[in-house]
Amino acid sequence: MSDFIPKEKLTAYQRWEVAAFDEDRKVTAESPPAARQAEDQPLAAPPVETASEQENPSPEPPLVLPTAEAIETMHREAHEAGYAAGYQEGIAAAQSSAEAISTLMDNLQQALAGIDQTVAEQLLALAIEVASQVLRQSLKVQPELLLPVVREAVTTLHPHHGQPLLFIHPVDAALVRGQLGDQLAHVNWRIVEDATLTPGGCRVELGASEVDASLETRWRRVIENIGISQDWLEAQAGETNANAGERRLGSR
Domains of the chain, each with CATH number or no CATH: 143-251 (3.30.2320.30)
Predicted local distance difference test score (pLDDT) of residue 240:
67
Determine contact, residues 176/150, Cβ cutoff 8 Å.
yes
pLDDT tens-digit map of 115-125: 777 777 777 77
User: How does pLDDT run across 53-111, given as a tens digit for each residue?
Assistant: 555 556 666 767 778 788 888 878 887 787 777 767 777 777 777 787 778 778 777 77
Which H or E element spans position 193?
strand 190-193
The answer to whether the pTM exceeds 0.85 is: no
In this prediction, residues 193-222 reach a mean pLDDT of 91
Residue 158's pLDDT is 77
- List beta partners, residue 202: 168, 213
Q: pLDDT digit string (tens) for 152-170?
A: 999 888 777 788 999 999 9
What radius of gyration, in Å, describes the C-alpha atoms of the chain?
66
pLDDT at 151 over 60: yes
Ranges 81-85, 199-203, 215-219: which has the least confidence:
81-85
pLDDT band at 248 (very low <50, low <70, confident <90, very high): low
Could you give the angle at which helices 68-141 and 230-251 cross, rounded to 10 degrees? 110
Query: What pLDDT score does 86 carry?
Result: 72
159 touches 207 (CB < 8 A): no
What's the pLDDT at 199?
Answer: 93
pLDDT in tens, 7-54: 555 554 444 444 444 444 444 444 455 544 545 555 555 555 555 555
Of 165, 162, 166, nearest to 176 by C-alpha is: 166
Model pLDDT, residue 172? 94
Confidence (pLDDT) at 27: 44
Dist CA 131 CA 134 (whole Å): 5
Sheet arrangement for strand 190-193: 190-193, 165-168, 202-206, 209-213
Please state, as a whole number, how many other Cβ atoms lie within 10 Å of the Cβ of residue 215.
20
Is the CB of residue 181 less than 8 Å from the CB of residue 151?
no
Read off the pLDDT band of 243 (50, 70, 90): low
Pairwise pLDDT comparison (161 vs 211), residue with the higher score: 211
Segment 195-204 shows an average pLDDT of 94
